[in-house]
Amino acid sequence: MKQLIITGGQGSLARAIAEAFAGSDWQINAPSRLELDVTQREAVEAFFADRAVDLLVCAAGITRDAPLLRHSEKDWDEVMAVNYHGAAACARAALPSMVARQTGHIVFISSHSALQPPLGQSSYAAAKAALLGFADQLAGETGSHGVRVNSILPGFLETRMTESVTATRREQVLADHRLGHFNTPAAVARFIHFLHHELPHTSGQVFQLDSRKAQKT
């Protein structure tokens, strides 16, 4: 039986991914932050010890949005710890078993903010942009060992993370979508399922899943 680990397991996206992979071929473990705090390196190492992970989806994430001059050092460090350092720690902990078995897949959940950050989201944008660079480098390091690494930009999703976004800001974001609607956790989950099962030769890629421009022109 293959093993899937999804960090940030109580989030809407993580739950959708778990549902998409539900079946007899997968043992799914989607720990909450209480079960796996990705910011605690020793806890991460203990969690992944003796686990032969086939697919790791790093979906744990937080925001602490504020203009840089009003952004506390504590909030900045927490955003980086969860979104970047936590994902990197989980990948590092899962890799030995993947390399030993010459197979495995790591999917990082990044963000459109890594490419076009909105005002006031410097820490989140920095963390998610760092994650893209890390993923690209890791794909190069592990490809010869049969390990795939890909990044997903899921788009603006209606989740607990975005509940605090004002109606005005929501309309502004929506206006940038060519199709006039947001992506959904279920659609992202289905894509990750397709990427893992149907694109076995794909690694080192960034997949943007909404209808916004990838980069400004």
The residues carrying an active-site annotation are 124
Q: How many CB atoms lie within 10 A of CB 216?
A: 6
DSSP symbol at 107: E
- Among 61, 49, 52, CA closest to 8: 61
Cα 139 from Cα 148, distance rounded (Å): 6
Cα 10–chain centre separation: 14
- Among 164, 156, 149, CA closest to 181: 156
CB-CB contact of 30 with 18 (8 Å): yes
